[in-house]
Amino acid sequence: MTRHPHDATVLSIGRVAYPDSAALVQEPRVEIVEHYAWTGTPHDVLLPQLVDLLRRWRVHRVAIDATGLGQTSSRIVAAALGEPRVDAVTFSAQSKSDLGFDLIAAVNGARLKMYATDGSSECAEFWRQATLARVAYRANRTMNFYCDAAECHDDYLVSAALLARASKTQRRRAATGRVRV
């Protein structure tokens, strides 16, 4: 989930699929199944909606942009869902670089999949931002990914990167109990 002043708040919902034990790469694949986006919605209206959606989708792990005003949002979501389920990411040059490299690795490794084009404005905006995305590599082995401000915002890109991060830290769940005889 991302939140930037004058931008949109974007929530990307994903399903984590784990490789079988014989797979060469053991990292999970995340399939984006839905996007929600809000622009100009006051926090007191937006946050209950976000918490409701996260609960309705039974989200096990969420990564949230906790920069600036996002810090309060991340605390409210953590209080509602439980602290261990929330990864509050404070953006810096290094943390955004890490998100970018992880996003590129997930895309290039076919570990990030997007739902089929469905005609929605969210789907169209995701692909527009993905198409217009830029990267700037720095001398200190960091990078920045973004959209040129004259062309678009990077809300969906950042949300996808946060989703990829959340999927990396999600633990494989195993059934517990006993077999009936």
What is the rounded distance in angstroms from the CA atom of residue 150 to the CA atom of residue 57?
34
Q: What is the pLDDT of residues 36-61, one digit of tens each?
A: 999 989 989 999 999 999 999 999 99
Give 136's strand partners.
Answer: 144
pTM score, two decimals? 0.87
Q: Which two tokens stand for residue 173?
A: 């769940």
Q: What is the pLDDT of residues 64-123, one digit of tens each?
A: 999 998 899 999 999 999 999 999 999 999 999 999 999 999 999 889 999 888 999 999
Q: Which two tokens stand for residue 75?
A: 């605390």
DSSP assigned state of 29: E
Domains of the chain (ranges plus CATH)?
8-169 (3.30.420.240)
